[in-house]
Amino acid sequence: MPTPGKKALLIVDMQHGLFYAPQQPFGAEKLLANINILISRARDKNAPIFAARHTGPEGSPLAESSPLTQLIPQLAIDAESDDVFVKRYPNCLRDTTLLASLQQAGIEELVICGMKTEYCVDTTCRAAADLGFQVTLISDAHSTTDNGLISASQIIAHHNQTLSGPFVQLATTADAEF
């Protein structure tokens, strides 16, 4: 059996504009609690922690300086030791500092959590797998909102099932290891 590669935690878009939107994400309190558990576990094992902030063009509600793009304060991110980076696309690896940072740190496995399931979480899981990373999606630590056609819980379940196998290995917060 191959030796597991070096792991990092990637937290996607846990920011004001999504977490505190008029329609809160499904299971918001549990989502936050689970991500903070993952942060604590990653720290205990000295695994690097990366947190993405999604931004848009200057002058838009998602301008980089906008409060909507700032990480929520309840997230246990340490600005001194964790790598917080800005992205402009659903793929956390596209035109960001993330890929170079992962390569420099010798990361082979990404543990992914955050928001929104069907957008940035899904896109990043697929892109990371395409780039050769082993990806673990934390099935109870990503979320979204109802979309008018199906419920957030259905979206989450669908993506857990669809991504599992070809793109990710699923784990729960309780089973996640670093």
Mean pLDDT of 81-107: 97
Task: Kindly tell me if the per-residue pLDDT of 4 is higher than 60.
Answer: no
Q: From CA 107, how far away is CA 24, in angstroms rounded?
A: 33
| pLDDT tens string 9-26 | 999 999 999 999 999 999
For residue 86, list its beta bridge partners: 53
Q: Report the predicted TM-score, pTM, of the whole model to 2 decimal places.
A: 0.96
Instruction: Give the whole-angstrom CA distance, residue 17 versus residue 91.
Output: 18
Give 143's pLDDT tier (boundaries 50, 70, 90). Answer: very high
> Which residue, among 109, 175, 167, has the nearest Cα to 141 in the 3D structure?
175
> 32-62: per-residue pLDDT in tens?
999 999 999 999 999 999 999 999 999 988 9
